[in-house]
Amino acid sequence: MVPVRLRDFISDPDGWLYAVSTYDNEESVGCVLRYVPDETGERIHPSGRRYRKYDFEEAYALVSRLKPAYAGLLHRIPYRDVKTVLRPDVEIGRIAAAHSRVRKLIVLFGLPRGTVGCTGSLLCGLENDASDIDMVVYGRHWFVAQALVQQGIRDGKIEGLSEEMWRKVYEKRRPEISYEDFILHEQRKYNRGQIEGTYFDILYTRSYEDIRAEPAGKGAVLGKMTIEAKVTDASLAFDNPAVYRIEHESVSRVLSFTHTYSGQALVGETIEACGVCEQHGNEQWLIVGTTREARGEYIVSRTLLGQ
Question: pLDDT (tens digit, 9 = 90+) per residue, 79-122?
Answer: 999 999 999 999 999 999 999 999 999 999 999 999 999 999 99
Q: What is the mean pLDDT of residues 122-141?
A: 96
Which range has the worst mean pLDDT, 14-23, 174-183, 234-243, 290-299?
290-299
Span 1-32, pLDDT tens digits = 789 999 999 999 999 999 999 999 999 999 99
Domains located in the chain, CATH noted: 9-86 (no CATH), 88-208 (3.30.460), 220-301 (2.40.50.140)
pLDDT tier, 291 (very low <50, low <70, confident <90, very high otherwise) = confident
* Torsion on CA atoms 59, 65, 66, 68, rounded to nearest 10: 90
Report the sign of the C-alpha dihedral through residues 230, 216, 13, 67, in that order.
Answer: negative
Burial of 117-141, coded b for 16+ CB within 10 Å and e otherwise, reads bbbbbbbbbbbeeeeebbbbbbeeb
Q: How confident is the model at residue 214 (pLDDT cuts 50, 70, 90)?
A: low
In one-letter notation, the amino acid at residue 66 is L
- Check residue 30 and give its pLDDT: 95
pTM above 0.85, yes or no: yes
Cβ pair 262, 238 in contact under 8 A:
yes
User: Quick one: DSSP state of residue 159?
Assistant: B
User: Quick one: pLDDT at residue 295?
Assistant: 84
Q: Determine the Cα–Cα distance for residues 226 and 228; give it in Å rounded to an integer.
A: 7
Using CA atoms, how far apart are residues 132 and 119, in angstroms rounded to an integer? Answer: 10
Which of 20, 7, 26 is CA-nearest to residue 206?
A: 7
